[in-house]
Structure 1
Protein backbone atom coordinates (compact mmCIF):
# COMPACT_ATOMS: atom_id res chain seq x y z
CA UNK A 1 0.00 0.00 0.00
CA UNK A 2 2.82 2.35 0.91
CA UNK A 3 4.72 1.64 -2.32
CA UNK A 4 1.54 2.19 -4.36
CA UNK A 5 0.96 5.58 -2.70
CA UNK A 6 4.59 6.49 -3.32
CA UNK A 7 4.27 5.49 -7.01
CA UNK A 8 1.04 7.50 -7.37
CA UNK A 9 2.58 10.52 -5.64
CA UNK A 10 5.57 10.51 -7.99
CA UNK A 11 3.33 10.46 -11.06
CA UNK A 12 1.18 13.28 -9.70
CA UNK A 13 4.32 15.38 -9.20
CA UNK A 14 5.49 14.53 -12.72
CA UNK A 15 2.10 15.48 -14.14
CA UNK A 16 2.13 18.84 -12.32
CA UNK A 17 5.67 19.56 -13.53
CA UNK A 18 4.72 18.59 -17.10
CA UNK A 19 1.74 20.96 -17.04
CA UNK A 20 3.93 23.74 -15.69
CA UNK A 21 6.54 23.09 -18.39
CA UNK A 22 3.93 23.30 -21.13
CA UNK A 23 2.48 26.48 -19.61
CA UNK A 24 5.94 28.08 -19.74
CA UNK A 25 7.31 26.70 -23.01
CA UNK A 26 4.22 26.94 -25.25
CA UNK A 27 3.77 30.76 -25.01
CA UNK A 28 7.48 31.11 -25.80
CA UNK A 29 7.25 28.88 -28.88
CA UNK A 30 3.99 30.58 -29.94
CA UNK A 31 5.65 33.98 -29.75
CA UNK A 32 8.63 32.79 -31.82
CA UNK A 33 6.67 31.24 -34.67
CA UNK A 34 4.14 34.08 -34.64
CA UNK A 35 6.99 36.50 -35.33
CA UNK A 36 7.32 34.92 -38.80
CA UNK A 37 3.62 35.09 -39.69
CA UNK A 38 2.02 37.24 -42.35
CA UNK A 39 -0.97 39.43 -41.63
CA UNK A 40 -3.16 36.90 -43.44
CA UNK A 41 -2.00 34.15 -41.07
CA UNK A 42 -3.09 36.19 -38.04
CA UNK A 43 -6.54 36.83 -39.48
CA UNK A 44 -6.99 33.23 -40.60
CA UNK A 45 -6.01 31.58 -37.30
CA UNK A 46 -3.52 33.08 -34.83
CA UNK A 47 -2.75 29.65 -33.32
CA UNK A 48 -1.60 27.85 -36.48
CA UNK A 49 1.95 27.69 -37.78
CA UNK A 50 2.90 30.35 -40.37
CA UNK A 51 2.09 29.52 -43.99
CA UNK A 52 5.43 31.08 -45.01
CA UNK A 53 8.38 32.71 -43.26
CA UNK A 54 8.04 36.52 -43.13
CA UNK A 55 11.47 37.96 -42.25
CA UNK A 56 10.27 41.49 -42.96
CA UNK A 57 8.59 41.48 -39.54
CA UNK A 58 12.01 41.80 -37.92
CA UNK A 59 12.97 44.63 -40.25
CA UNK A 60 9.75 46.46 -39.37
CA UNK A 61 10.34 45.91 -35.65
CA UNK A 62 13.98 47.03 -35.69
CA UNK A 63 13.88 49.93 -38.15
CA UNK A 64 10.37 51.28 -38.56
CA UNK A 65 9.47 51.15 -34.86
CA UNK A 66 12.92 52.42 -33.75
CA UNK A 67 13.34 49.25 -31.71
CA UNK A 68 17.05 49.24 -32.45
CA UNK A 69 17.61 52.45 -30.45
CA UNK A 70 15.57 51.26 -27.47
CA UNK A 71 17.46 47.95 -27.51
CA UNK A 72 20.79 49.71 -26.98
CA UNK A 73 19.23 52.03 -24.40
CA UNK A 74 18.26 48.96 -22.40
CA UNK A 75 21.76 47.48 -22.76
CA UNK A 76 23.30 50.73 -21.53
CA UNK A 77 20.95 51.01 -18.57
CA UNK A 78 21.20 47.32 -17.65
CA UNK A 79 25.00 47.12 -17.74
CA UNK A 80 25.57 50.27 -15.69
CA UNK A 81 22.79 49.47 -13.21
CA UNK A 82 23.99 45.93 -12.56
CA UNK A 83 27.62 47.08 -12.27
CA UNK A 84 26.61 49.62 -9.61
CA UNK A 85 24.47 47.04 -7.82
CA UNK A 86 27.30 44.50 -7.71
CA UNK A 87 29.86 47.01 -6.41
CA UNK A 88 27.60 48.66 -3.82
CA UNK A 89 25.75 45.57 -2.60
CA UNK A 90 28.85 43.39 -2.28
CA UNK A 91 30.80 45.99 -0.28
CA UNK A 92 27.76 46.86 1.86
CA UNK A 93 26.97 43.22 2.62
CA UNK A 94 30.59 42.56 3.51
CA UNK A 95 30.78 45.53 5.88
CA UNK A 96 27.46 44.67 7.56
CA UNK A 97 28.50 41.06 8.15
CA UNK A 98 32.18 41.57 9.05
CA UNK A 99 32.28 44.81 11.04
CA UNK A 100 30.35 45.69 14.18
CA UNK A 101 29.45 49.36 14.53
CA UNK A 102 26.61 51.43 15.93
CA UNK A 103 23.55 51.28 13.69
CA UNK A 104 24.68 48.27 11.63
CA UNK A 105 21.76 46.12 12.78
CA UNK A 106 19.29 48.95 12.14
CA UNK A 107 20.63 49.54 8.62
CA UNK A 108 20.39 45.83 7.84
CA UNK A 109 16.79 45.66 9.07
CA UNK A 110 15.76 48.70 7.03
CA UNK A 111 17.29 47.07 3.95
CA UNK A 112 15.37 43.87 4.60
CA UNK A 113 12.13 45.77 5.23
CA UNK A 114 12.34 47.36 1.80
CA UNK A 115 12.19 43.86 0.25
CA UNK A 116 8.51 43.67 1.21
CA UNK A 117 7.55 47.03 -0.29
CA UNK A 118 6.39 46.85 -3.95
CA UNK A 119 8.45 49.14 -6.16
CA UNK A 120 5.28 50.66 -7.65
CA UNK A 121 4.60 52.27 -4.25
CA UNK A 122 7.75 54.32 -4.72
CA UNK A 123 6.80 55.48 -8.21
CA UNK A 124 5.50 58.95 -7.28
CA UNK A 125 8.21 59.73 -4.67
CA UNK A 126 10.86 58.56 -7.14
CA UNK A 127 9.43 60.74 -9.89
CA UNK A 128 9.40 63.80 -7.61
CA UNK A 129 12.96 63.10 -6.44
CA UNK A 130 14.21 62.74 -10.02
CA UNK A 131 12.50 66.02 -10.89
CA UNK A 132 14.20 67.80 -7.99
CA UNK A 133 17.59 66.37 -9.03
CA UNK A 134 17.00 67.32 -12.68
CA UNK A 135 17.34 63.68 -13.74
CA UNK A 136 14.00 63.24 -15.51
CA UNK A 137 14.22 61.98 -19.09
CA UNK A 138 17.85 60.96 -18.55
CA UNK A 139 19.17 57.41 -18.83
CA UNK A 140 21.65 58.16 -16.04
CA UNK A 141 18.73 58.94 -13.73
CA UNK A 142 17.10 55.61 -14.59
CA UNK A 143 20.41 53.85 -13.87
CA UNK A 144 20.52 55.35 -10.37
CA UNK A 145 16.89 54.39 -9.70
CA UNK A 146 17.45 50.79 -10.80
CA UNK A 147 20.68 50.53 -8.82
CA UNK A 148 18.96 51.77 -5.66
CA UNK A 149 16.03 49.38 -6.20
CA UNK A 150 18.26 46.35 -6.68
CA UNK A 151 20.37 46.86 -3.57
CA UNK A 152 18.11 45.35 -0.86
CA UNK A 153 17.67 41.95 -2.51
CA UNK A 154 21.33 41.82 -3.53
CA UNK A 155 22.56 42.72 -0.05
CA UNK A 156 20.25 40.07 1.43
CA UNK A 157 21.64 37.36 -0.87
CA UNK A 158 25.29 38.31 -0.47
CA UNK A 159 25.03 38.73 3.30
CA UNK A 160 24.17 35.02 3.48
CA UNK A 161 27.35 34.19 1.56
CA UNK A 162 29.64 36.45 3.57
CA UNK A 163 28.32 35.24 6.92
CA UNK A 164 29.46 31.71 6.20
CA UNK A 165 32.71 32.37 4.33
CA UNK A 166 35.87 31.19 6.06
CA UNK A 167 37.69 34.22 7.49
CA UNK A 168 41.13 32.56 7.59
CA UNK A 169 42.10 33.82 4.11
CA UNK A 170 41.36 37.47 4.82
CA UNK A 171 42.94 37.26 8.28
CA UNK A 172 46.14 35.87 6.78
CA UNK A 173 46.19 38.63 4.16
CA UNK A 174 45.71 41.33 6.80
CA UNK A 175 48.52 39.86 8.91
CA UNK A 176 50.78 39.98 5.84
CA UNK A 177 50.17 43.71 5.57
CA UNK A 178 47.43 43.80 2.93
CA UNK A 179 44.92 46.64 3.27
CA UNK A 180 41.25 45.89 3.94
CA UNK A 181 40.30 47.21 0.49
CA UNK A 182 42.93 45.14 -1.31
CA UNK A 183 41.99 42.06 0.72
CA UNK A 184 38.36 42.43 -0.21
CA UNK A 185 38.86 42.81 -3.97
CA UNK A 186 41.70 40.29 -4.29
CA UNK A 187 40.42 37.57 -1.94
CA UNK A 188 36.84 37.98 -0.74
CA UNK A 189 35.24 39.15 -3.99
CA UNK A 190 36.53 36.18 -6.08
CA UNK A 191 35.47 33.70 -3.38
CA UNK A 192 31.97 35.20 -3.34
CA UNK A 193 31.66 34.95 -7.14
CA UNK A 194 28.79 32.40 -7.04
CA UNK A 195 26.69 34.94 -5.15
CA UNK A 196 27.87 37.77 -7.42
CA UNK A 197 26.73 35.80 -10.48
CA UNK A 198 23.32 35.16 -8.92
CA UNK A 199 22.60 38.80 -8.12
CA UNK A 200 24.00 39.86 -11.49
CA UNK A 201 21.66 37.59 -13.44
CA UNK A 202 18.60 38.31 -11.30
CA UNK A 203 19.11 42.06 -11.51
CA UNK A 204 19.82 42.21 -15.22
CA UNK A 205 16.59 40.31 -15.89
CA UNK A 206 14.68 42.61 -13.55
CA UNK A 207 16.15 45.79 -15.07
CA UNK A 208 15.67 44.59 -18.65
CA UNK A 209 11.97 43.84 -18.10
CA UNK A 210 11.10 46.83 -15.88
CA UNK A 211 8.39 49.11 -17.27
CA UNK A 212 6.61 51.50 -14.79
CA UNK A 213 9.70 53.44 -13.67
CA UNK A 214 11.11 53.66 -17.19
CA UNK A 215 7.76 54.93 -18.46
CA UNK A 216 7.55 57.55 -15.70
CA UNK A 217 11.12 58.84 -15.91
CA UNK A 218 11.77 58.73 -19.68
CA UNK A 219 9.62 60.79 -22.02
CA UNK A 220 11.66 61.21 -25.22
CA UNK A 221 11.07 58.50 -27.86
CA UNK A 222 14.81 58.17 -28.55
CA UNK A 223 15.49 57.36 -24.89
CA UNK A 224 12.87 54.66 -24.40
CA UNK A 225 13.89 51.21 -23.23
CA UNK A 226 12.83 47.90 -24.75
CA UNK A 227 10.00 47.33 -22.26
CA UNK A 228 8.48 50.75 -22.99
CA UNK A 229 8.84 50.26 -26.73
CA UNK A 230 7.12 46.87 -26.56
CA UNK A 231 4.12 48.42 -24.79
CA UNK A 232 4.06 51.21 -27.38
CA UNK A 233 4.04 48.62 -30.15
CA UNK A 234 1.16 46.71 -28.54
CA UNK A 235 -0.78 49.98 -28.16
CA UNK A 236 -0.26 50.79 -31.82
CA UNK A 237 -1.73 47.43 -32.77
CA UNK A 238 -5.15 48.66 -31.61
CA UNK A 239 -5.16 50.93 -34.64
CA UNK A 240 -2.86 49.03 -37.02
CA UNK A 241 -2.49 45.48 -38.31
CA UNK A 242 1.24 44.74 -38.12
CA UNK A 243 1.07 42.01 -35.49
CA UNK A 244 4.11 40.29 -36.98
CA UNK A 245 6.31 43.27 -36.08
CA UNK A 246 4.99 43.19 -32.52
CA UNK A 247 5.87 39.51 -32.05
CA UNK A 248 9.24 40.06 -33.73
CA UNK A 249 9.91 42.83 -31.23
CA UNK A 250 8.99 40.49 -28.38
CA UNK A 251 11.44 37.87 -29.65
CA UNK A 252 14.23 40.45 -29.96
CA UNK A 253 13.50 41.66 -26.42
CA UNK A 254 13.66 38.10 -25.07
CA UNK A 255 16.91 37.15 -26.80
CA UNK A 256 19.41 38.79 -24.39
CA UNK A 257 17.71 37.28 -21.34
CA UNK A 258 17.60 33.81 -22.94
CA UNK A 259 21.23 34.03 -24.03
CA UNK A 260 22.35 35.09 -20.55
CA UNK A 261 20.37 32.26 -18.99
CA UNK A 262 21.76 29.56 -21.30
CA UNK A 263 25.34 30.80 -20.79
CA UNK A 264 25.16 31.15 -17.02
CA UNK A 265 22.47 28.61 -16.06
CA UNK A 266 24.95 26.22 -14.42
CA UNK A 267 26.54 29.03 -12.42
CA UNK A 268 23.13 30.39 -11.47
CA UNK A 269 21.96 27.00 -10.17
CA UNK A 270 25.28 26.46 -8.38
CA UNK A 271 25.11 29.90 -6.81
CA UNK A 272 21.53 29.46 -5.63
CA UNK A 273 22.35 26.01 -4.26
CA UNK A 274 25.43 27.33 -2.44
CA UNK A 275 23.41 30.20 -1.00
CA UNK A 276 20.69 27.85 0.20
CA UNK A 277 23.24 25.51 1.78
CA UNK A 278 25.15 28.31 3.48
CA UNK A 279 22.03 30.19 4.52
Structure 2
Protein backbone atom coordinates (compact mmCIF):
# COMPACT_ATOMS: atom_id res chain seq x y z
CA UNK A 1 0.00 0.00 0.00
CA UNK A 2 1.29 3.45 -0.94
CA UNK A 3 1.15 6.40 1.45
CA UNK A 4 -1.08 8.33 -0.94
CA UNK A 5 -3.63 5.50 -0.97
CA UNK A 6 -3.55 5.18 2.81
CA UNK A 7 -4.09 8.88 3.46
CA UNK A 8 -6.87 9.01 0.84
CA UNK A 9 -8.73 6.13 2.52
CA UNK A 10 -8.16 7.70 5.94
CA UNK A 11 -9.70 10.98 4.78
CA UNK A 12 -12.72 9.14 3.35
CA UNK A 13 -13.13 7.29 6.64
CA UNK A 14 -13.02 10.53 8.67
CA UNK A 15 -15.46 12.21 6.32
CA UNK A 16 -18.00 9.43 5.73
CA UNK A 17 -17.74 7.09 8.72
CA UNK A 18 -16.90 9.66 11.40
CA UNK A 19 -18.85 12.53 9.82
CA UNK A 20 -16.13 15.06 10.66
CA UNK A 21 -15.99 18.59 9.26
CA UNK A 22 -13.26 19.53 6.80
CA UNK A 23 -11.35 21.64 9.33
CA UNK A 24 -11.25 18.69 11.74
CA UNK A 25 -10.15 16.32 8.96
CA UNK A 26 -7.34 18.72 8.05
CA UNK A 27 -6.18 18.69 11.68
CA UNK A 28 -6.28 14.88 11.81
CA UNK A 29 -4.22 14.47 8.63
CA UNK A 30 -1.79 17.40 8.94
CA UNK A 31 0.96 15.47 10.77
CA UNK A 32 0.49 12.31 8.67
CA UNK A 33 1.11 14.36 5.53
CA UNK A 34 4.17 15.86 7.20
CA UNK A 35 5.44 12.31 7.88
CA UNK A 36 4.89 11.32 4.24
CA UNK A 37 6.86 14.34 3.04
CA UNK A 38 9.67 13.51 5.46
CA UNK A 39 9.91 9.88 4.24
CA UNK A 40 9.98 10.95 0.59
CA UNK A 41 12.75 13.44 1.26
CA UNK A 42 14.89 10.64 2.69
CA UNK A 43 13.80 8.25 -0.07
CA UNK A 44 12.48 5.78 2.47
CA UNK A 45 11.02 2.54 1.13
CA UNK A 46 8.87 1.96 4.23
CA UNK A 47 5.13 1.81 3.62
CA UNK A 48 2.20 2.47 5.97
CA UNK A 49 2.10 -1.26 6.60
CA UNK A 50 5.81 -1.77 7.31
CA UNK A 51 7.02 1.38 9.03
CA UNK A 52 8.24 0.75 12.58
CA UNK A 53 8.65 2.78 15.75
CA UNK A 54 12.28 3.72 15.20
CA UNK A 55 11.57 5.52 11.93
CA UNK A 56 8.66 7.36 13.52
CA UNK A 57 10.85 8.26 16.49
CA UNK A 58 13.44 9.78 14.14
CA UNK A 59 10.73 11.74 12.32
CA UNK A 60 9.24 13.06 15.56
CA UNK A 61 12.68 14.07 16.81
CA UNK A 62 13.49 15.90 13.56
CA UNK A 63 10.31 18.00 13.54
CA UNK A 64 9.89 18.47 17.30
CA UNK A 65 13.03 20.50 17.95
CA UNK A 66 11.11 23.75 17.57
CA UNK A 67 7.81 22.50 19.05
CA UNK A 68 6.57 22.94 22.60
CA UNK A 69 5.44 19.85 24.57
CA UNK A 70 1.79 20.42 23.71
CA UNK A 71 2.51 20.53 19.96
CA UNK A 72 4.68 17.43 20.26
CA UNK A 73 1.85 15.61 22.02
CA UNK A 74 -0.57 16.65 19.26
CA UNK A 75 1.86 15.37 16.62
CA UNK A 76 2.13 11.96 18.31
CA UNK A 77 -1.63 11.79 18.82
CA UNK A 78 -2.28 12.54 15.15
CA UNK A 79 0.03 9.74 14.04
CA UNK A 80 -1.45 7.32 16.56
CA UNK A 81 -4.96 7.96 15.25
CA UNK A 82 -3.82 7.24 11.70
CA UNK A 83 -2.26 3.89 12.57
CA UNK A 84 -5.25 3.01 14.76
CA UNK A 85 -7.33 3.42 11.60
CA UNK A 86 -5.07 0.99 9.72
CA UNK A 87 -5.53 -1.52 12.53
CA UNK A 88 -9.29 -0.95 12.44
CA UNK A 89 -9.30 -1.78 8.73
CA UNK A 90 -7.11 -4.87 9.35
CA UNK A 91 -4.15 -3.50 7.40
CA UNK A 92 -1.89 -3.67 10.45
CA UNK A 93 -1.90 -5.67 13.66
CA UNK A 94 0.09 -3.19 15.74
CA UNK A 95 0.45 0.55 16.21
CA UNK A 96 4.11 1.66 15.97
CA UNK A 97 3.28 4.86 17.85
CA UNK A 98 2.34 2.92 20.99
CA UNK A 99 6.04 2.51 21.82
CA UNK A 100 6.62 6.27 21.66
CA UNK A 101 5.96 8.21 24.85
CA UNK A 102 4.19 11.55 24.66
CA UNK A 103 5.67 14.48 26.60
CA UNK A 104 3.96 15.44 29.82
CA UNK A 105 1.92 18.60 29.48
CA UNK A 106 -0.05 20.64 31.93
CA UNK A 107 -3.62 21.65 31.36
CA UNK A 108 -3.70 24.78 29.22
CA UNK A 109 -6.72 26.94 29.97
CA UNK A 110 -7.87 29.78 27.73
CA UNK A 111 -8.35 33.27 29.08
CA UNK A 112 -11.76 34.08 30.51
CA UNK A 113 -13.34 37.49 30.10
CA UNK A 114 -15.15 39.16 32.97
CA UNK A 115 -18.60 40.60 32.39
CA UNK A 116 -17.12 44.10 32.57
CA UNK A 117 -14.56 43.20 29.90
CA UNK A 118 -17.25 41.80 27.62
CA UNK A 119 -19.30 44.96 28.13
CA UNK A 120 -16.23 47.05 27.29
CA UNK A 121 -15.67 45.17 24.03
CA UNK A 122 -19.30 45.58 23.00
CA UNK A 123 -19.25 49.27 23.95
CA UNK A 124 -16.24 49.75 21.67
CA UNK A 125 -18.30 48.77 18.60
CA UNK A 126 -19.06 51.76 16.36
CA UNK A 127 -22.83 51.52 15.88
CA UNK A 128 -22.82 54.42 13.42
CA UNK A 129 -21.43 52.00 10.83
CA UNK A 130 -23.74 49.44 9.19
CA UNK A 131 -21.48 46.57 10.25
CA UNK A 132 -21.60 47.87 13.83
CA UNK A 133 -25.06 46.45 14.49
CA UNK A 134 -23.98 43.16 12.90
CA UNK A 135 -20.81 42.97 15.01
CA UNK A 136 -22.72 43.70 18.22
CA UNK A 137 -25.12 40.87 17.39
CA UNK A 138 -22.16 38.59 16.64
CA UNK A 139 -20.39 39.22 19.96
CA UNK A 140 -23.63 38.87 21.91
CA UNK A 141 -24.43 35.58 20.16
CA UNK A 142 -20.95 34.17 20.76
CA UNK A 143 -21.13 34.98 24.45
CA UNK A 144 -24.77 34.38 25.32
CA UNK A 145 -25.08 31.11 23.37
CA UNK A 146 -21.53 29.75 23.79
CA UNK A 147 -21.07 28.97 20.11
CA UNK A 148 -17.99 27.75 18.29
CA UNK A 149 -16.89 30.16 15.57
CA UNK A 150 -17.92 27.73 12.80
CA UNK A 151 -21.34 27.35 14.43
CA UNK A 152 -21.74 31.12 14.39
CA UNK A 153 -20.74 31.61 10.74
CA UNK A 154 -23.05 28.76 9.66
CA UNK A 155 -26.04 30.06 11.63
CA UNK A 156 -29.08 30.52 9.39
CA UNK A 157 -32.22 32.62 9.51
CA UNK A 158 -34.18 29.36 9.49
CA UNK A 159 -32.30 28.31 12.65
CA UNK A 160 -33.85 31.12 14.69
CA UNK A 161 -36.80 30.05 16.82
CA UNK A 162 -37.31 33.29 18.69
CA UNK A 163 -40.88 32.57 19.78
CA UNK A 164 -39.58 29.49 21.61
CA UNK A 165 -36.43 31.35 22.81
CA UNK A 166 -34.09 28.87 21.11
CA UNK A 167 -31.72 28.71 18.17
CA UNK A 168 -30.78 25.54 16.30
CA UNK A 169 -27.03 25.03 16.15
CA UNK A 170 -25.17 22.65 13.83
CA UNK A 171 -22.00 21.52 15.59
CA UNK A 172 -19.19 19.04 14.99
CA UNK A 173 -20.08 16.13 12.77
CA UNK A 174 -23.22 18.00 11.65
CA UNK A 175 -24.85 17.19 14.99
CA UNK A 176 -27.64 19.59 15.83
CA UNK A 177 -28.71 20.95 19.20
CA UNK A 178 -31.07 23.64 20.47
CA UNK A 179 -29.52 26.40 22.57
CA UNK A 180 -31.49 28.94 24.62
CA UNK A 181 -31.14 32.56 23.53
CA UNK A 182 -31.52 35.57 25.82
CA UNK A 183 -33.93 38.48 25.22
CA UNK A 184 -31.01 40.90 24.81
CA UNK A 185 -29.36 38.77 22.13
CA UNK A 186 -32.69 38.36 20.34
CA UNK A 187 -33.08 42.13 20.42
CA UNK A 188 -29.68 42.80 18.80
CA UNK A 189 -30.13 40.09 16.16
CA UNK A 190 -33.59 41.45 15.32
CA UNK A 191 -32.20 44.99 14.91
CA UNK A 192 -29.57 43.64 12.52
CA UNK A 193 -32.12 41.60 10.54
CA UNK A 194 -34.67 44.40 10.21
CA UNK A 195 -32.49 47.51 9.89
CA UNK A 196 -29.20 46.38 8.31
CA UNK A 197 -29.61 43.11 6.44
CA UNK A 198 -32.27 44.38 3.96
CA UNK A 199 -29.70 46.86 2.58
CA UNK A 200 -27.12 44.14 1.82
CA UNK A 201 -27.02 42.79 -1.78
CA UNK A 202 -27.42 39.17 -0.72
CA UNK A 203 -25.97 36.41 -2.91
CA UNK A 204 -28.64 33.77 -3.62
CA UNK A 205 -26.52 30.92 -2.25
CA UNK A 206 -26.16 32.80 1.06
CA UNK A 207 -29.73 34.08 1.36
CA UNK A 208 -30.49 31.99 4.46
CA UNK A 209 -27.16 32.75 6.19
CA UNK A 210 -27.66 35.07 9.17
CA UNK A 211 -24.42 37.05 9.35
CA UNK A 212 -23.19 38.42 6.01
CA UNK A 213 -20.35 40.61 4.82
CA UNK A 214 -20.96 43.80 2.85
CA UNK A 215 -20.95 41.85 -0.43
CA UNK A 216 -23.78 39.60 0.72
CA UNK A 217 -21.69 36.51 1.36
CA UNK A 218 -21.24 34.34 4.44
CA UNK A 219 -18.67 35.65 6.90
CA UNK A 220 -15.48 33.61 7.18
CA UNK A 221 -13.91 32.35 10.40
CA UNK A 222 -10.98 34.68 9.74
CA UNK A 223 -13.29 37.70 9.59
CA UNK A 224 -14.73 36.89 13.04
CA UNK A 225 -11.20 36.71 14.43
CA UNK A 226 -10.40 40.07 12.81
CA UNK A 227 -13.51 41.74 14.27
CA UNK A 228 -12.57 40.57 17.75
CA UNK A 229 -8.91 41.49 17.35
CA UNK A 230 -9.83 45.06 16.36
CA UNK A 231 -12.13 45.43 19.37
CA UNK A 232 -9.44 44.13 21.73
CA UNK A 233 -6.93 46.62 20.33
CA UNK A 234 -9.47 49.43 20.60
CA UNK A 235 -10.18 48.73 24.28
CA UNK A 236 -6.52 48.05 25.15
CA UNK A 237 -7.44 44.73 26.74
CA UNK A 238 -4.28 42.83 27.66
CA UNK A 239 -5.61 39.32 26.98
CA UNK A 240 -5.42 36.80 24.18
CA UNK A 241 -9.04 36.96 23.01
CA UNK A 242 -10.54 34.79 20.27
CA UNK A 243 -14.09 33.59 19.47
CA UNK A 244 -13.33 30.60 21.70
CA UNK A 245 -12.76 32.97 24.62
CA UNK A 246 -16.41 34.00 24.58
CA UNK A 247 -17.50 30.35 24.55
CA UNK A 248 -15.24 29.61 27.50
CA UNK A 249 -16.50 32.69 29.36
CA UNK A 250 -20.10 31.65 28.69
CA UNK A 251 -19.53 28.26 30.33
CA UNK A 252 -17.45 29.61 33.19
CA UNK A 253 -19.95 32.31 34.14
CA UNK A 254 -22.80 29.80 34.10
CA UNK A 255 -20.88 27.46 36.38
CA UNK A 256 -19.89 30.23 38.76
CA UNK A 257 -23.52 31.25 39.07
CA UNK A 258 -24.66 27.75 39.98
CA UNK A 259 -25.67 26.23 36.64
CA UNK A 260 -25.81 22.45 36.39
CA UNK A 261 -22.79 20.89 34.68
CA UNK A 262 -24.98 18.57 32.62
CA UNK A 263 -27.04 21.50 31.32
CA UNK A 264 -23.84 23.34 30.33
CA UNK A 265 -22.62 20.19 28.56
CA UNK A 266 -25.79 20.09 26.46
CA UNK A 267 -25.61 23.78 25.56
CA UNK A 268 -21.95 23.48 24.54
CA UNK A 269 -22.61 20.35 22.48
CA UNK A 270 -20.01 18.20 24.25
CA UNK A 271 -20.46 14.46 23.85
CA UNK A 272 -18.62 13.75 27.09
CA UNK A 273 -19.11 15.45 30.45
CA UNK A 274 -15.34 15.03 30.94
CA UNK A 275 -14.74 17.49 28.12
CA UNK A 276 -17.00 20.01 29.83
CA UNK A 277 -15.15 19.63 33.13
CA UNK A 278 -11.77 20.27 31.52
CA UNK A 279 -13.17 23.09 29.39
CA UNK A 280 -14.46 24.95 32.40
CA UNK A 281 -11.53 24.46 34.78
CA UNK A 282 -13.74 23.50 37.73
CA UNK A 283 -11.83 24.95 40.65
CA UNK A 284 -11.83 23.59 44.17
CA UNK A 285 -13.27 26.72 45.76
CA UNK A 286 -16.37 26.55 43.60
CA UNK A 287 -16.84 22.84 44.28
CA UNK A 288 -16.59 23.53 48.02
CA UNK A 289 -19.27 26.20 47.73
CA UNK A 290 -21.56 23.76 45.89
CA UNK A 291 -20.98 21.09 48.53
CA UNK A 292 -21.67 23.45 51.42
CA UNK A 293 -24.79 24.83 49.76
CA UNK A 294 -26.46 21.65 48.55
CA UNK A 295 -25.21 18.68 50.58
CA UNK A 296 -27.62 17.61 53.37
CA UNK A 297 -24.76 16.88 55.82
CA UNK A 298 -23.53 20.45 56.26
Q: TM-score range by the shorter chain?
A: under 0.3
TM-score by length of 1: 0.27
Higher helix share: 1
Higher strand share: 2
